[in-house]
Amino acid sequence: MIIDVHTHIVPESFPSYGGNNPATPWPGMASCSQPHHRAVVIDGKTFREVSHHCWHTGERLKDMAAEGVERQVLSPMPELLSYWFEVDDALRMCHHINTTIASMVNSAPEHFYGLGMVPMQDPALAAREMARLKADYGLLGIEVGTNINGRPIGDPFFEPVFAAAVEQDLAIFVHALHPAGIERVIGPPGMAALVAFPNENALAVASLICGGMLTRYPDLRIAFSHGGGGFGLVLPRMLHGWRTMGDGMFATSPLTLARQIYYDTLVYDTPALKYLIDLFGVERLLVGTDYPFVIREQHPGKRLQELELSDAQLKLMHSGNALRFLGLD
């Protein structure tokens, strides 16, 4: 059984904006030329054209069966996280997205799990909303961005959210969002996702380690998309700093803290994935594909077979680690 922890949804439609700020970049859906596709329109511009696989569970199930994926973990397309909205507007979007994901999960509960979203720009409110995720929606955690309006996820400002995750037994999946340094990326628009996102992920993992959150909440179940981005190459530098500069730099080995985190397998390269297994341990890696977007990895089980792991190790990567991350082991 393969569980894919990194898949996204976009609702088939959005409610009309009902807030008090007409300048809010509230998303909508529009028709487009491709069959079975719609355009996500934000602030009057097409953000992305998406297929009906984003909301149609029947189509998802066909692809899953063809690619040997037993279950998907559904989470919002990151641009829908709405941290730049006023809090009341963000809360409306959270309720719409969480209801959509809950409905998709309920349509085939033997094949889907769900991660929702909360208004991270107000950590106290976000923590209160997290208390509703299981009871009201049947969701197992939240997806969050690597930064919230420029503030890194490891900032102590977000401690109420991490405390609530532990208290409510919820998982947190971190996805790159509005990356730092994007103004330095040269080339076509798609280069931002290819180059800036991995660096943004590395900054976010480092912030979580250096901000002390993993020390204060050792039971926190948190995972990073795209294998943690470039963090796998940053970590040896942090370790060298810890060894040569002493406890004044890090109170705990960065490697020890890094191994409290989960990372998905979406690095598109077998040697790179082997390196992450050696660095973080086979029990910290989760299958992730970025379904249903163009950048996704198809047939994820094939790459895992190339790793020459034991049956027990493959079982961990296929499903055991994901179940532990989701609190379902």
CATH code assigned at 192: 3.20.20.140
* Mean pLDDT, range 148-170, rounded to an integer: 97
In a domain, 37, yes or no: no
Per-residue three-class SS string for the chain: CCEEEEEEECCCCCCCCCCCCCCCCCCEEEECCCCCEEEEEECCEEEEEEEHHHCCHHHHHHHHHHHCCCEEEEEECHHHCCCCCCHHHHHHHHHHHHHHHHHHHHHCCCCEEECECCCCCCHHHHHHHHCCHHHHHCCCEEEEECEECCEECCCHHHHHHHHHHHHHCCEEEEECCCCCCHHHCCCCCCHHHHHHHHHHHHHHHHHHHHCCHHHHCCCCEEEECHHHCCHHHHHHHHHHHHHHHHHHCCCCCHHHHHCCCEEECCCCCHHHHHHHHHHHCHHHEECCCCECCCCCCCCHHHHHHCCCCCHHHHHHHHHHHHHHHCCCC
Q: What range defines the domain where residue 265 resides?
A: 3-13+53-325
Q: Is the pLDDT of residue 249 over 80?
A: no
In a domain, 46, yes or no: no
In a domain, 32, yes or no: no
In a domain, 133, yes or no: yes
In a domain, 44, yes or no: no
pLDDT by residue (tens digit) across 2-47? 999 999 999 999 999 999 999 999 999 999 988 999 999 999 999 9
In a domain, 94, yes or no: yes
- Counting the structural domains of the chain, the total is 1
* Mean pLDDT, range 299-313, rounded to an integer: 95
pLDDT at 189: 83
In a domain, 23, yes or no: no
In a domain, 40, yes or no: no
Of 9-23, 101-115, 175-189, 237-251, the range with the lowest mean pLDDT is 237-251
Q: Residue 247 — pLDDT band, cuts 50, 70, 90?
A: low
pLDDT at 250: 81
